[in-house]
Amino acid sequence: MPPQLPEFHPRTAAEQAANALREALQVGHLPDPLPGEHVLAAHFGLSRPTVRRALSLLAQEGWLTLRKGSRTRLRQPHAPRPTGQRAVCALVAVPTHPHSENPVLAELRRALGPEVAWEVLSDARLASPRPQRRVAALVAARPGVCWVLAGSTPELQAWFARSGVPTLVLGSGTEPGVLPSVDLDYRAVGWHAAGQLLRAGCRRIILAQPPRLLPGDEATHAGLAAYLAHRGEPPPMVLRWPSATAGCATLDRALQSGGKPGFLSLRPLLTLTLLTHLLRRGIRLPQEAALISRDSEPFLQAALPSPARYESTPEARVRRAARILHALAAGTLRPPWPEVRLMPGFTPGQTL
């Protein structure tokens, strides 16, 4: 009786092409969206119908999204991790550093070390009022992953709180105790900034804010308003800045009322626009107006006059965040969830 041989299944050219494409996707060698069928066919030495069937197979497996008349997009743009390796995925819905890598995330990746697989997903669609379907697909594709929410919206935080997957908010939580979080103490920053502006002789306190707010922005406003109420001062005027043109026009109207204005800006780029516009209007800083930037970026150090600002290094936040992530991954962290708040340093600058 002849020996039994393992069952053999010949693979079609489309299946072989699908395997090659799958391997390229796993190691991140293909961009999102994918090149066109003619480019892939030339690269793999196949016909376009074969490539089309291979893409259809990968779409059935959940790797790709195929839409008629649109480029082929990735549905699982991540590489699988070795068995047993811990993994962390940082999810960025609202970038806080739009023109550079988030320094806290970069430092956190180094602090976690090579034994932890690391991935960053930046998806502006998650900032919509209804991110549920999109985020559910991302999480389902990454079982056993610890999540870091950086630049997240209340809706996104609420989804993760309901899901039960291990999650750390690298920022302010929208609701106390719902998720563990590590952030700067923005309420304390608002309180401190109000005192600084009043001591500089400002009679009108103006909060300059972008159109899209984060939980830390609301905490800053609360701290600013609380200190002014404590001192018996009027509440802060809110200067919304939807665009440079509209914002400058609103600022010009605010400058027409009497009294020395004091500005607290919630974004470094907004600080730079305020600074240049005030100087363009011939307003002397800090004699006729004062300006504080709640956050700092390296480019503010080159501005003249140098803006007063709050500055922090990533190290303190990263140390606390890394400890929480290791505990989440090990399953040793349980509610009540920690809420770590750190006060940044204050640099008076030349605008106060």
pLDDT bracket for residue 343 (50, 70, 90) = very high
Q: Note whether 173 and 157 are within 8 A (CB).
A: yes
φ, ψ of residue 265 in degrees (nearest 5):
-100, 135
Mean pLDDT of all residues in 165-188: 90
Report the alpha-carbon distance of residue 42 to residue 46 in Å, rounded: 7
Residues in CB range of 255: below 8 A, 6 or more apart: 261, 281, 283
DSSP string, 289-326: -EEEESS--GGGGGSSSPPEEEE--HHHHHHHHHHHHH
Query: Which of 4-8, 20-24, 173-177, 235-239 has the least mean pLDDT?
Result: 4-8
Average pLDDT, the chain: 84
| For residue 313, pLDDT beyond 70 | yes
Residues in CB range of 299: below 8 A, 6 or more apart: 268, 272
Q: If we measure between CA atoms, which residue out of 311, 63, 322 comes closest to residue 189? A: 311
Q: What is the pTM of this model?
A: 0.69
Report the alpha-carbon distance of residue 206 to residue 16 in Å, rounded: 63
pLDDT tens per residue across span 73-105: 777 444 445 545 688 999 888 766 554 567 888
pLDDT bracket for residue 238 (50, 70, 90) = very high
Q: Note whether 111 and 319 are within 8 A (CB).
A: yes
Amino acid at 76: Q
Report the alpha-carbon distance of residue 66 to residue 20 in Å, rounded: 18
